């Protein structure tokens, strides 16, 4: 097992990479603990849960809302959960986002931890302290910054993940390498087949390297005033694709990274062969590099981007593989990039 720390304003979060769900009991710092999980994870892994109260929620992005949070508050009251109780989210990004938000707001905040059960959640969603739910058609509109006391990343749980969920995680892993670690990018190029086959050692290294990048950025800028924006590489177009088509998040981000790399070339920052490497690697990982979407709907989605300021957007570009920076780009230039995506 390897450990990393995230230092947030509200406390330190210990990320335990390679720890097992079966050891969860050792990390619960309270007499009364409540597990929040979803139906899939409960059905697969409840035999490994410690003896705690369990609340089960449904699955899918459309249950990530205030109605589910309300249901959880009601259940917590029924279970007589106190400020001294401890909440544990066991699941993917949806469970962790909802459980973290519920724990942070119930009784003005009770302590919480996560057992992260998807690749995307391990490399991204459960690390960094963003907790929240969707509202009024907007993703993650309501939420808080608050760090879990611990995050257990149990590699064994990944073995039951559907293939499309693995791809979503791999897209975020490529993102981390592209924006922060050229050596990691080379490693994925060399080991992509083992990554796709979920080879335990390769995946454990990629999860660790991803969290090194994410945690070092969050440690500098927890609340996304500057440095943390780099983690949005590929996400401006990724979110717009997600909003306007039915493609899953990871696939949308993959195509978004290709556009962002292409823009980096067009603006003279990134050599074209480097952008081509990004596209080639995504293809090898069976991720899409182009997504057909209605251009006007895409532009409308870009216009509603949270990173927008007036007619410009804080956009993440690369000047090398492994080095990202943020530049303001006009929506008009982004519109032109839609017509001419990729390197």
CB proximity list for 216: less than 8 A, separation 6 or greater: 180
Residue with tokens 């660790």: 208
**Residue 146 touching ligand NAD (CB under 6 A):** no
Nearest approach in angstroms of CB 60 to ligand NAD is: 6
Of 129 and 343, nearer to ligand NAD (C-beta) is 129
Task: Choose, by CB under 6 A, the member of 21, 24, 33, 41 that binds ligand NAD.
Answer: 41
The residues in 321-340 that bind ligand NAD, with binding defined as CB under 6 A, are none
Alpha carbon distance 285, 230 (integer Å): 22
Residues 8, 21, 38, 316: which binds ligand NAD (CB under 6 A)?
A: 38
Question: How far apart are CB 336 and ligand NAD at their closest, in Å?
Answer: 28
Q: Which is nearer to ligand NAD, 91 or 256 (CB)?
A: 91
Asked if 293 touches ligand NAD (CB under 6 A), the answer is no
Residue of the chain from 16, 157, 206, 218 that contacts ligand NAD (CB under 6 A): 157
Position among 76, 152, 168, 204 found at the interface with ligand NAD (CB under 6 A)? 168
Total length of the chain:
343
Report the residue number whose CB is nearest to ligand NAD: 93
Which tokens belong to 190?
A: 């060399």
Q: Is 123 helix (H, G, I), strand (E, B) or coil?
A: helix
| Beta carbon of residue 94, minimum distance to ligand NAD (angstroms, whole number) | 4
Nearer to ligand NAD among residue 238 and residue 262 (C-beta): 238
- Residue 296 sits at the vertex; the CA angle it makes with 139 and 179, to the nearest 5 degrees, is 55
Residues 233 and 257: their CA atoms lie apart, in Å, by 6
Residue 112's φ and ψ, nearest 5 degrees, are -150, 160
277 vs 181: CA distance, rounded Å: 14
Is the Cβ of residue 160 or residue 216 nearer to ligand NAD in the bound state? 160
What residues numbered 216-255 form the site for ligand NAD, per CB under 6 A?
Answer: none
- The residue range among 153-161, 178-186, 294-302, 313-321 that interacts with ligand NAD, by the rule CB under 6 A, is 153-161
The size of the interface with ligand NAD (CB under 6 A), counted in residues, is 28
In what helix (H) or strand (E) does residue 139 lie, and over which residues does it extend?
A: strand 138-145
Q: Helices 272-284 and 163-180, interaxial angle, to 10°?
A: 160
Q: Please report, as residue ranges, which positions from 8 to 37 form the binding site for ligand NAD (by CB under 6 A).
A: none
User: What are 134's two structure tokens?
Assistant: 């969707």
Q: How far apart are CA 77 and CA 305, in angstroms?
A: 37
Give the number of C-alpha atoms closer than 13 A to the C-alpha of residue 68, restricted to the C-beta side.
Answer: 28
**What is the separation, in whole angstroms, between the first and last Cα of the chain?**
39
Phi, psi of 115 (to 5 degrees): -110, 115
Nearest to 131 by CA among 159, 97, 158: 97
Is the CB of residue 241 less than 8 Å from the CB of residue 252?
A: yes
Site for ligand NAD in 66-125 (CB under 6 A): 91-95, 97, 117-118, 120-121, 124-125
Nearest-5° Cα angle at 242, 131 to 167: 80
Minimum CB distance to ligand NAD, residue 39 (Å): 7
Q: Residues 8, 89, 113, 128: which binds ligand NAD (CB under 6 A)?
A: 128
Query: Which CB, 61 or 300, lies closer to ligand NAD?
Result: 61
Per-residue x/- track, 181-200, ligand NAD (CB under 6 A): --------------------
130 binds ligand NAD (CB under 6 A): yes
Please say which residue, 40 or 105, places its beta carbon nearer to ligand NAD. 40
Name the residues that contact ligand NAD, by CB under 6 A.
Answer: 38, 40-41, 44, 59, 61, 64, 91-95, 97, 117-118, 120-121, 124-125, 128, 130, 139-140, 157, 160-161, 165, 168
């Amino acid at each position: 097992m390897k450990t990393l720390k995230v230092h947030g304003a509200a406390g330190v979060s210990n990320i335990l990479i390679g720890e097992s769900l079966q050891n969860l009991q050792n990390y619960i710092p309270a007499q009364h603990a409540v597990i929040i999980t979803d139906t899939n994870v409960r059905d697969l892994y409840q035999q490994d849960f410690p003896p705690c109260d369990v609340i089960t929620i449904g699955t899918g992005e459309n249950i990530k809302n205030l109605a589910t949070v309300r249901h959880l508050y009601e259940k917590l009251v029924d279970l007589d959960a106190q400020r001294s109780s401890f909440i544990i989210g066991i699941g993917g990004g949806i469970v962790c986002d909802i459980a973290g938000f519920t724990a942070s707001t119930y009784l003005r905040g009770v302590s919480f931890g996560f057992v992260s059960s998807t690749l995307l959640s391990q490399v991204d969603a459960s690390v960094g302290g963003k907790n929240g739910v969707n509202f009024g058609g907007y993703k993650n509109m309501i939420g808080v910054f608050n760090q879990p006391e611990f995050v257990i990343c149990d590699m064994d749980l990944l073995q039951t993940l559907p293939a499309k969920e693995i791809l979503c995680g791999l897209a975020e892993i490529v993102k981390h390498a592209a924006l922060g670690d050229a050596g990691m990018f080379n490693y994925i190029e060399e080991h992509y087949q083992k990554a796709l086959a979920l080879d335990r050692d390769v995946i454990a290294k990629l999860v660790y390297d991803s969290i090194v990048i994410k945690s070092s950025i969050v440690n500098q800028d927890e609340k996304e005033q500057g440095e943390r924006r780099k983690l949005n590489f590929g996400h401006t177009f990724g979110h717009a694709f997600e909003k306007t088509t039915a493609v899953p998040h990871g696939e949308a981000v993959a195509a978004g990274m290709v556009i962002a790399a292409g823009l980096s070339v067009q603006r003279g920052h990134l050599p074209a062969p480097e952008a081509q490497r990004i596209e080639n690697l995504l293809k090898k990982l069976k991720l899409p590099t182009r997504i057909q979407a209605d251009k006007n709907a895409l532009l409308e989605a870009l216009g509603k981007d949270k990173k927008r300021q007036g007619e410009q957007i804080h956009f993440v570009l690369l000047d090398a593989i492994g080095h990202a920076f943020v530049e303001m780009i006009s929506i008009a230039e982004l519109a032109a990039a839609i017509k001419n995506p990729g390197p």
